[in-house]
Amino acid sequence: MGTRRITAGLIFAALALCGTLAARSLGAGGPVSAYPTAGTVDASPMTQISFRGAGPAELGRVEVTGSVTGRHTGRLEAHSDGDGASFFPDRPFRAREAVAVRAARPLIGSRRGRVTFRVATLPGDRTVSHDEAARAAGSGGAGAAASGPSKFHSVSGFRPPSIDVLTRRSGRARGDIFLAPKSGQRAAMIVDDSGKLVWYHPAPPNYRIYDFRRQRYGGHNDLTWIEYRDCRLPECGIGRIYDRAYRKVASVRAGNGYAADFHDFTISPQSTAYMIISQPVQADLRSVGGPSNGWMFDSIVQEIDVPTGAVRFEWHALDHIPLTRSGLRYSHDTFDPYHVNSVDQESDGNLLISARNTDAVFEIDRASGRVLWQLGGNGSSYRMGRGASFIAQHDARRQRNGEITIFDNGLGAGLGDRPARGIVLELKGGKAYLRHALQRAKPVYANSQGNVQGLPTGGYFVGWGGHTPYFSEFDGSGRMVYDAQFAGTQGNSYRAFRFAWHGRPSHAPAVAAAAASGGRVKVWVSWNGATEVASWQLFAGPHRSSLQPVKTVARRGFETSISFAPAKRYVQVRALDAQGHLLGASGVTSVTGGG
């Protein structure tokens, strides 16, 4: 992994205002990106210093000095792709001190060969709550789970909500629906096109699950999500990656002592992970009617090297977006001027970032962190065409054809009050044009959350966010072709997606059997996450070693029940695909309640 010890020492320099160079211009021997970037005003006291564009050998002697803490020793560890490294100091920095960094290669934003940043004052034991986290939890609190027995005989502890499909028209995409219910039992959940359960994964105690979807990692289609609870430790926000056999591939946490929030866990084309941090810091808030030393949330974006956990990139909204761009003004609560809720890596490597409380989307140069342009809000770089403006938005994504999809919430505290919609925008000639407005016939109001997913068909899948129970699909012309909801409207999901998914569990099918009246036996069988099972073949016998085939029945939903006579003491069930090939077999199970 290329680890070596370094003795650090340099002369402290004044804060640098960084110049900008495109990330793609970095060639051999050229400037290297350094994070925290030059001029950062609120780096973590536990920050590592990350470099992109050169490995440890090319960086040469790395020198780090704090204006208060002095020279820092540490270790330099290579990133997994060999094109970067992170310096991990042996001890933390001091709040409000300036830190200067130097390497053998020139650093982007440096002055006199040094990149300089300042360290934040963090809240310590001060309790600071993030409003939307509480709203997103729905009723019942962070650790709540639905009470009562499992809905199924063959598996314990599963209490998924039911799904009602309201509309199914031709033109919809193929695939299953990915949800993360936040009311009742928190979980990651896949249902098929008819609303029947395919896979269910309850959240750990005191955690909730967000942003559950299929993403490409390491050349494979995997399942990803965030497990989150409202606290300030790195283990309070954990990104999970599971393979198609439902085995854990990786767990990802934010770096530099931060806790990732629940908004976004995006895997890049390079199989790195983007995470968002809502970090309380002290700042001068006089420009928005606050004190000179008030508390606010800075929105921080990190790119994490998954195999090593090192930070490849870090961006702070406070360094690059004036507080006056916010649609909010200071109150006595912790000020939340930005509220970044999505990050999307574009084809050129730059980042598209949605900042809800500015009513705007920003494109960020990943080498320097500079804002290249702003879409919407106060100070938009683009003229907003008719119907193109949005309010308190979520989930800005660049589509393959260059258009941008956004979930326009339409309302928020002090920000607006109109129905939610998905929008598709085209940027052309300095103007943003509305190409599609995706809305349900009956208006939906969503004060938070929501998403728009571009589909391979050219259509769009919309999760309506807030406390709304709906998720819908629209074709390429904007016509609704699919609509569903959590049954009884008692449920909601932060985001909703449709993906083709093929799961082959590494665990065996689950089976339960009990004696029934009339000398019969009733058997229940399920295989959580298996997508290829067409039928179940039942075996039974008086001894474990003398099982004989009894009958074969078609799979019926998540759990299939099978009844047979005369009664036998032991049963086993085998899963068959549509061609009758064996996929897997349950263990041999004794019949309860009789012989």
What is the 3-state secondary structure of 516-562? EHHHEEEEEEECCCCCCCCEEEEEEECCCCCCEEEEEEECCCCEEEE
pLDDT at 131: 47
**pLDDT score for 466:** 77
Q: What is the pLDDT of residue 183?
A: 84
pLDDT score, position 11: 26
Sign of CA dihedral 542, 545, 548, 552: positive
Closest by CA to 62, choosing from 30, 16, 98, 99, is: 99
Q: Could you give the angle at the alpha carbon of 396 between the alpha carbons of 391 and 397, nearest 5°? A: 155
> What element of type H or E holds 211?
strand 208-217
- The answer to whether residues 201 and 208 touch, using CB atoms and an 8 Å cutoff, is no
> How many Cα neighbours within 13 Å face the side chain of 266?
22
Domains of the chain: 4-118 (2.60.40.3710), 131-147+158-499 (2.120.10.30), 510-590 (2.60.40.10)
Q: And the tokens for 408?
A: 């326009």
Residues 452 and 421 sit within 8 Å (Cβ to Cβ): no
* Alpha-carbon span 337 to 411, nearest angstrom: 16
Label each residue of 308-340 as H, E or C.
CCCEEEEEEHHHHCCHHHCCCCCCCCCECCCCE
Q: How far apart are CA 67 and CA 484, in angstroms?
A: 58
Backbone angles phi, psi at 284, to 5 degrees: -80, 110
Beta-bridge partner residues of 227: 209, 238
Which neighbouring-strand residues pair with 553?
536
Which among 414, 433, 431, 415 has a CA at the least distance from the CA of 423? 433
User: Over its length of 595 residues, how does the chain's per-residue pLDDT go in tens digits?
Assistant: 433 333 333 222 232 323 333 333 333 568 999 999 999 999 999 999 999 999 999 999 999 999 999 999 999 999 999 999 999 999 999 999 999 999 999 999 999 999 999 999 988 644 445 545 444 444 333 444 445 578 999 999 999 999 999 999 999 999 999 999 988 899 999 999 999 999 999 999 999 999 999 999 999 999 999 999 988 888 999 999 999 999 999 999 999 999 999 999 999 999 999 999 999 999 999 999 999 999 999 999 999 999 999 999 999 999 999 999 999 999 888 999 999 999 999 999 999 999 999 999 999 999 999 999 999 999 999 999 999 999 999 999 999 999 999 999 998 655 568 999 999 999 999 999 999 999 999 999 998 999 999 999 999 999 998 789 999 999 999 999 999 999 986 689 999 999 999 999 999 999 999 999 999 999 999 999 999 999 999 999 999 999 999 999 999 999 999 999 999 999 999 999 999 999 999 999 999 985 4
Q: Which sign, positive or negative, has the C-alpha torsion 543, 544, 545, 547? A: positive
Residue 136 three-state SS: helix
Q: What does each C-alpha distance from 580 to 485, 532, 583 come to in angstroms?
A: 34, 11, 9
What lies within 8 Å, CB to CB, of 388 at 6+ separation is 376, 423, 425, 432, 433, 434
CA distance linking residue 189 with residue 202, whole number of Å = 8
Contact criterion met (CB below 8 Å) for 254 and 275: yes
Closest CA to 84 of 249, 288, 305: 305
Instruction: Enter the DSSP assignment of 132.
Output: H
pLDDT, residue 27, reads 39
**pLDDT for position 550:** 97
Alpha-helix runs per DSSP H in 226-338: 317-320
Within the chain, how many helices (H) and strands (E) appear? Answer: 3, 45
Whole-prediction pTM: 0.91
Distances (CA, A) of 383 to 177, 373, 389, 426: 36, 12, 9, 12
The total number of residues written for the chain in this structure: 595
Which residue shows structure tokens 């999970």? 240
Q: Which residue, 209, 168, 224, 175, is CA-closest to 498?
A: 175
- C-alpha–C-alpha distance, residues 483 and 470, integer Å: 7
Q: What is the DSSP code string of 351-419?
A: EEEEEGGGTEEEEE-TTT--EEEEESSTT-SSEE-TT---SS-EEEEE-TTS-EEEEE--EETTTEES-
